[in-house]
């Protein structure tokens, strides 16, 4: 629909309709870039004979852009939009249909394999599949035959209906596309990286070749009222005969420069087009930070989010001279705080501290948390209680997870955590050393690779457990922790309420120096160059 997620602030003339349909329309510059990329993938002469559809057309920006760029004629396109309140631009009026793009039939003649190119930005979220569900429940072959024809039993169909609507639209795009045809779809990063959706990505790769996944710059949809992180996925449906496929050496382009300081869309789009053109013209695979070419055969069971394949992020751990182990091998228990929507702990002067993301400072855990709740109350569940030596880790958010907020609880007072903080109980590793490692570049690059989510980036338990940590001698761990206890923790406790002051700025610099010293040990294997007594928790 040229739409995005169903929640969030929406800029629209009719707020009631906006709340119903969750419309977040595609910026024109993104639509133009899609066509520029398609020109690099499809022979120029083919566009004139293509039948093209956008099954969730919104304001018609994709089809309209293709016509204005001279690639298509109006009679070649079909626009389908479920919202009766939207009107198409003049060039699309004769080929515009008010219908549900997830359903077959109707005046738009939506049937499998009918189009050479399927393009668009469907909605994503939990809603938008009600009519499809009703058709499947009624065994309506005319409207839902594209799913019923695949011979799934009722249990499998029920599983499909539990999928987010963007996963169903990806299946729909592929079904509408004829063998050998092309597609371009905007998907939320949550779909690309969510481990629970790997079966969908695997099923897609059996039927289509992934040509490119381009992470859109952060804020691409902010003018439409959502901070959603999204990527452009380009694909080609496989030919019917497997003998026509020669894909073993084919590669997929991944590109995202989210963490390279290049956030201006024209600059980013121009760079990606240069890379695509160089490959098409000279077979030159240009490698830049944030750009990778991946063998298509590697993708069926893997993530599609571009950061996961970023060559800089992938190679960073190669600098470490020590063996690496999954963090999960050192986790005894992991949990998060109580989830009670719309409520906060009632202030208790002598209550149990409930640590939230804002209590995780660069130099350590806030010793005087803002929230305190009743001991044993609903915000003090036993499963997430904190004890000395526990690692507290922000599980979501740009201002928390992506600012790498974490800390080790070093007090003795009973405490707990909020629902946005994971409490990690460790064994076999010094928690302070581990925290210093995660705060440094080797921990950060892993978080940037693995984070996923739509509007809010996050890490789940499985992803946290998969973080790799160095198997460093205990003496090195104790020495690094000892420096923190001696040189930083006392001042942190004293200056925690004076962040921003000259004294606290100096303390932050000292903390950064300790983290750098730990990184130097990991790269060189030499002893920590800051002397201090070992301290063990």
389 exposure class (CB count in 10 Å sphere: 0-12, 13-18, 19+): middle
User: What does each C-alpha distance from 187 to 59, 269, 350, 501 come to in angstroms?
Assistant: 18, 17, 48, 43
Spatial distance between the Cα atoms of 310 and 293, rounded to a whole number of angstroms:
9
Cβ contact 299:321 at 8 Å: no
Within its chain, how far is the Cα of 288 from the centroid?
Answer: 21
Identify the residue whose tokens are 């928390």: 400
User: What does each C-alpha distance from 228 to 53, 145, 197, 221, 225 come to in angstroms?
Assistant: 24, 32, 18, 7, 9
72: left (phi over 0), alpha (psi -120 to 50) or beta: beta
Cβ contact 78:47 at 8 Å: no
Identify the residue whose tokens are 């079966």: 199
pTM score of the predicted model: 0.85
As its CATH architecture, domain 320-524 has Alpha-Beta Complex (3.90)
Cβ contact 163:152 at 8 Å: no
pLDDT tens for the 537 residues of the chain, in order: 454 433 322 333 443 344 344 456 788 999 999 999 999 999 999 999 999 999 999 989 999 999 999 999 999 999 999 988 888 899 999 999 999 999 998 888 899 999 999 999 998 877 789 999 999 999 999 999 999 888 788 888 999 999 999 999 999 999 999 999 999 999 988 899 888 888 999 999 999 999 999 998 876 666 555 567 889 999 999 986 555 445 457 899 999 877 665 556 788 888 899 999 888 777 788 777 889 999 998 888 889 999 999 988 889 999 999 999 999 999 999 999 999 888 877 778 889 999 999 999 999 999 888 889 899 999 999 999 999 999 999 999 888 998 899 999 999 999 999 999 999 999 999 999 999 999 999 999 999 899 887 667 889 999 999 999 999 999 999 999 999 999 999 999 999 999 889 999 999 999 999 999 999 999 999 988 765 433 333
Within its chain, how far is the Cα of 48 from the centroid?
Answer: 36
Spatial distance between the Cα atoms of 485 and 514, rounded to a whole number of angstroms:
12
Spatial distance between the Cα atoms of 121 and 187, rounded to a whole number of angstroms:
7
Predicted local distance difference test score (pLDDT) of residue 19: 36
Spatial distance between the Cα atoms of 369 and 355, rounded to a whole number of angstroms:
6
Spatial distance between the Cα atoms of 387 and 391, rounded to a whole number of angstroms:
9
Domain spans of the chain, in order of start: 15-309, 320-524
CATH number assigned to the domain covering 15-309: 3.40.50.150
Spatial distance between the Cα atoms of 121 and 124, rounded to a whole number of angstroms:
9
341 Cβ contact partners less than 8 Å away, ≥ 6 residues apart: none
Identify the residue whose tokens are 């974490």: 406
Q: Which helix (H) or strand (E) holds 335?
A: strand 331-336
151: left (phi over 0), alpha (psi -120 to 50) or beta: left
Predicted local distance difference test score (pLDDT) of residue 68: 96
324 Cβ contact partners less than 8 Å away, ≥ 6 residues apart: 317, 468, 469, 470, 471
Reduce the DSSP state of residue 160 to 3 states and report it. Answer: helix
Predicted local distance difference test score (pLDDT) of residue 536: 31
User: What does each C-alpha distance from 378 to 178, 386, 412 come to in angstroms?
Assistant: 55, 15, 21
| Structure-block tokens of residue 29 | 């510059």
- DSSP assignment of 243-283 equals GG---TT-EEEEE--TTTT---HHHHHHHHHHHHHHHHHH-
User: What does each C-alpha distance from 236 to 37, 117, 157, 170, 409 come to in angstroms?
Assistant: 13, 9, 25, 13, 51
For CA atoms 63, 66, 68, 72, the dihedral sign is negative
| Structure-block tokens of residue 111 | 């049937």
Spatial distance between the Cα atoms of 499 and 364, rounded to a whole number of angstroms:
12
Alpha-helix residue ranges (DSSP H) falling in 332-440? 431-439
């Amino acid at each position: 629909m040229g739409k995005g997620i169903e929640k969030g602030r929406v800029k629209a003339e009719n707020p009631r309709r906006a709340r119903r349909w969750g419309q977040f329309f595609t910026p024109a510059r993104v639509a133009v870039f899609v066509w520029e990329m398609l020109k690099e993938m499809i022979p120029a002469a083919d566009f004139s004979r293509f039948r093209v559809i956008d099954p969730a057309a919104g304001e018609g920006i994709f089809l309209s852009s293709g016509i204005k760029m001279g690639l298509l004629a109006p009679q070649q396109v079909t626009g389908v939009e479920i919202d009766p309140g939207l009107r198409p631009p003049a060039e699309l009026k004769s080929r515009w249909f008010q219908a549900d793009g997830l359903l077959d039939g109707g005046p738009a003649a939506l049937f499998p394999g009918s189009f050479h190119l399927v393009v668009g930005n469907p909605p994503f979220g939990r809603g938008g599949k009600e009519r499809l569900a009703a058709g499947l429940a009624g065994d309506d072959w005319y409207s839902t035959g594209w799913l019923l024809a695949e011979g799934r039993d009722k249990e499998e169909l029920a599983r499909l209906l539990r999928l987010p609507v963007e996963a169903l639209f990806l299946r729909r795009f592929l079904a509408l596309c004829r063998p050998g045809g092309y597609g371009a779809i905007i998907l939320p990063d949550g779909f690309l990286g969510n481990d629970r959706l790997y079966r969908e990505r695997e099923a897609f790769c059996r039927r289509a070749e992934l040509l490119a996944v381009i992470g859109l710059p952060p804020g691409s949809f902010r003018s439409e009222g959502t901070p959603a992180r999204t990527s452009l996925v380009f694909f080609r449906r496989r030919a019917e005969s497997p003998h026509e496929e020669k894909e073993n050496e084919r590669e997929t382009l991944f590109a995202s420069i989210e963490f390279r300081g290049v956030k201006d869309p024209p600059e980013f789009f121009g760079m990606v087009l240069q890379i695509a053109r160089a490959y098409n013209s000279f077979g030159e695979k240009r490698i830049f930070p944030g750009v990778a070419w991946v063998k298509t055969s590697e993708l069926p069971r893997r993530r599609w989010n571009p950061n996961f394949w970023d060559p800089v992020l992938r190679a960073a751990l190669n600098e470490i001279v020590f063996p690496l182990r999954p963090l999960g091998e050192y986790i005894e228990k992991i949990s998060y705080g109580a989830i009670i929507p719309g409520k906060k702990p009632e202030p208790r002067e002598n209550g149990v501290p409930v640590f939230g993301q804002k209590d995780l400072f660069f130099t350590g855990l806030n010793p005087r948390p803002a929230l305190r709740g009743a001991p044993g109350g609903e915000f003090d569940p036993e499963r997430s209680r904190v004890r000395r030596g526990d690692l507290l880790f922000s599980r979501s958010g740009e201002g928390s997870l992506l600012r790498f907020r974490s800390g080790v609880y070093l007090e003795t007072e009973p405490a707990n955590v909020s629902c946005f903080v994971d409490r990690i109980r460790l064994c076999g590793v010094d928690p302070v050393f581990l925290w210093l490692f995660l705060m440094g570049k080797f921990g950060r690059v892993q978080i940037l690779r693995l984070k996923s989510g739509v509007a809010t980036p996050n890490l789940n338990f499985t992803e946290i457990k998969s973080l790799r940590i160095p198997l460093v001698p205990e003496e090195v761990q104790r020495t690094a922790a000892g420096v923190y206890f001696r040189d930083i923790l006392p001042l942190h406790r004293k200056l925690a309420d004076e962040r921003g002051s000259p004294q606290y700025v100096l303390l932050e610099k000292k903390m950064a120096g300790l983290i750098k010293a730990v990184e130097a040990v990991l790269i060189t294997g030499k002893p920590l160059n800051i002397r201090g007594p070992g301290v063990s928790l």
